[in-house]
Amino acid sequence: NTTHYRARSAARAGTIGILFSMSMITSLEVATIMDTLPVLDTSEVQMLGSHLYSSR
């Protein structure tokens, strides 16, 4: 379902944008996450973001 995929992609992009704007992830990490987006869902991106944040 293309519409469902687009909605999930938009949600992932929004999550990354929020993390980035909160300075929880760097631009390099954004690039890395973007590269791996096809295999991640939103909860995984959020977990990754909080992991990166807590490992600082």
Q: How confident is the model at residue 40 (pLDDT cuts 50, 70, 90)?
A: low
Can you give the residue ranges of every domain in the chain? 2-54
Tokens of 37: 């987006």
Q: Over pLDDT 70: what percentage of the chain?
A: 61
Please, which residues have CB within 8 angstroms of residue 8's CB and are 6 or more apart in sequence? 41, 42
- Record the pTM: 0.32
